[in-house]
A and B are shown apart, each in its own frame.
Chain A
Amino acid sequence: GAGVSQTPSNKVTEKGKYVELRCDPISGHTALYWYRQSLGQGPEFLIYFQGTGAADDSGLPNDRFFAVRPEGSVSTLKIQRTERGDSAVYLCASSSAVAPNTGELFFGEGSRLTVL
């Protein structure tokens, strides 16, 4: 597709369950990012991939959160033993290596996670 695609758009789960959120970046974009936006806040950085490897995972809040990008394209954010505080919109973004350092990211519409 033309833009960043995220699935599911909405996910409701129960406390303690496991959740996977998927991101399909813009074709050809080597950099992929996950952000989390809680109500009333700006997007908060979680993890950044350059190709298949995580270049920076310093934003992951704890070891319940994990992300992979095995073939350098699609990425999956995995959350184990979900807690109510994990409820947020999870945003994925990608950027082209052609324009590094400018910070211009292309965001998807997000996956809204609600933990009951």
Chain B
Amino acid sequence: DQQVKQNSPSLSVQEGRISILNCDYTNSMFDYFLWYKKYPAEGPTFLISISSIKDKNEDGRFTVFLNKSAKHLSLHIVPSQPGDSAVYFCAASGGTRWYGGSQGNLIFGKGTKLSVKP
């Protein structure tokens, strides 16, 4: 049973518009959430994260929103650029509650392929 779900396998947006990628989770013990970006033939690279004690984290064009009551988070990219075209993975971690000092494993969603058209 998937604990982290990305229900949209793909998303296409026009350059300059907003991209919104969604993620739902089921385990209330998750206390840290991350977004990774992956280009073909490369490993995932960290993009942005958010602790469960916050509801928003912003880094340049990227903002992550967390709604704990709905167990939902989203990644907003604005303005979208063609170079943002990649697969985006949502991931969750149980942090110190799992390993008491050093995080263990991340649970990933299946990813959403974003295509930004010029």
Residue positions of A touching B, CB distance < 8 A: 4, 31, 33, 35, 40-45, 48, 50, 55-56, 59, 91, 93, 95, 97, 100-110
**Which residues does chain A contribute within 8 Å of B34, judged by CB atoms?**
103-104
Range class of the B interface residue count: 20 to 34
Complex: chain B residue closest to A46, CB-CB: B105
Residue positions of B touching A, CB distance < 8 A: 4, 6, 32, 34, 36, 41-46, 49, 89, 91, 93, 95-96, 99, 101-111
A-B contact count (CB 8 A): 75
**Which residues does chain B contribute within 8 Å of A104, judged by CB atoms?**
34, 46, 49
Inter-chain CA distance A44–B96, complex, in Å, is 20
User: Cβ of A43 and Cβ of B49 under 8 Å apart?
Assistant: no
Partner of B106, one of A4, A41, A103: A103
The verdict on A101 contacting B108 (CB below 8 Å), with A42-B89, A108-B43 known, is no
Inter-chain CA distance A82–B108, complex, in Å, is 25
Inter-chain CA distance A88–B105, complex, in Å, is 19
Chain B min CB distance to A102 (Å)? 6
